[in-house]
Structure 1
Amino acid sequence: MLELLDLAGSVVTLDAMHCQKETAKRIVAAEADYILTVKGNQGNLANRLLELFLEYGEQRYRAEGLRKHVTVETSRGREECREYYAIAVPDEPLFADWSGIKSIGMIFRVRDDGDVRHSEATYFISSLPPKVIMLSRRIRDHWKIENSEHYILDVTFSEDRSRIRAGSSPEISAAFRRMALNILQQDTTVKDSIRGKRLRAGWDETVLDAIYAGFNMV
């Protein structure tokens, strides 16, 4: 898919599933930048980022070159504080194979939900310089889109209740759901909600054909 898109000058933000060396290489080759979330599927990288930010924490996050940005948001009565940290990528062999990498970072989130406090730390790598405010805005935009998409996929497509489990079937079915959602979101032939468009397309093949034809003309 990356090869089909004109990415020049863009910033590609991807979740941990797509944190792969080949993906980073293709994005940089397309003259674009990336921000990739790092989790357990990249075990050595994730462990090293954890070690580094524990070391920075022991220094009260005052390491040379480490930048910090804090945001606080209140939504539906819940307050969430996010601390963003970014620093130039260390000169270590572990990072050398990641094409174009310039910075590493951590987001520490604390959310108060009534009397319960939730906290989580996530890590990322990027081909962008360690300008923490700029990085935080890109990451936040990614989460806004992802949260909105996940809500629609769960409510309209019942993704969380899917019983598809075997082999690569969950990934394939998820890709088809997202493709269908993208087509319905771009459609202008039917004036209805995503749920309504989906139902009408299932009931009437002429509606389905019109939606699909409109998408092909985009």
Structure 2
Amino acid sequence: MIKIDRKKKGYFCLQVKGNQKTLKEDIEDYFADKEFRKKLKEEGMYSRKTEKQRGRLKTREYYYTEETEWLIKRNKEWKEVKGIGASILTTEENGKNQEQKRYYITNTAGGVEEFVRAVRGHWAIESYHWILDVTFREDANKTLNKNAARNLNILRKLAISILEELPFRKKFSRRIKR
């Protein structure tokens, strides 16, 4: 169950996963309607971005709506939700397409571009944590002292910045350069 600290009144954009099965199914069904998606495109609540990465063509489509009354009526626990969105990633490699769909809830109403920034920003942070774990095995660190753990984290991030600036950075992995 997702716990939201309502007292702090922070912003959230949360990916809805299997641990919220009913919520996920409801949102999946909502965005499955082609006419509804067409309507979102016409209203400007749609964004599409295509990029080429490592020989793959990646197309990201985003649908966003602030029509959440139906969701709040079904479950009062989500009364802070002001928008829901869908992210569809289509990867084309060697003539084969692979599609991944993700669904999100947010408590900010800011349109599709704000939704895209929130989703992409989340993955940038996840990617950075992945680099810390792969390069420095940060998740395996068992430092108990909070100050020491914080200092080691700062040093690792500084080291990543330095590793990225090395002139031979494209030839070797971060782990080897370390």
Q: TM-score, normalised by structure 2?
A: 0.71
Residue in 1 that maps onto 2:68: 90
Residue in 2 that maps onto 1:38: 16
Checking the alignment, whether the CA contact within 8 Å between 1:66 and 1:86 is kept in structure 2 is no
CA RMSD of aligned residues (A): 3.4
Checking the alignment, whether the CA contact within 8 Å between 1:104 and 1:126 is kept in structure 2 is yes
For 1:97, what is the secondary structure of its paired residue? helix
Checking the alignment, whether the CA contact within 8 Å between 1:66 and 1:87 is kept in structure 2 is no
Distance 2:76 2:43 in 1: 19
Displacement over 6 Å in runs of 4+: 173-176, 179-182
Checking the alignment, whether the CA contact within 8 Å between 1:86 and 1:130 is kept in structure 2 is no
> Residue type of the partner of 1:186?
I
CA separation of 1:99 and 1:91: change in aligned 2, threshold 3 A: closer
Checking the alignment, whether the CA contact within 8 Å between 1:87 and 1:130 is kept in structure 2 is no
> Residue type of the partner of 1:184?
L
> Residue type of the partner of 2:137?
F
Checking the alignment, whether the CA contact within 8 Å between 2:68 and 2:81 is kept in structure 1 is no
> Residue type of the partner of 2:97?
R
Residue in 1 that maps onto 2:154: 186
Residue in 1 that maps onto 2:38: 61
Unaligned runs of 5+ in 2: 164-178
- Aligned match of 1:106 in 63, 81, 86? 86
Aligned residues: 156
Distance 2:150 2:63 in 1: 33
Percentage identity across paired residues of the two chains = 22
Matches within 5 A, 1:108-147: 108-147=88-127
Unaligned runs of 5+ in 1: 1-18, 160-172, 197-218
CA separation of 1:193 and 1:32: change in aligned 2, threshold 3 A: closer
1:75 to partner: Cα distance: 1.9
Residue in 2 that maps onto 1:75: 53
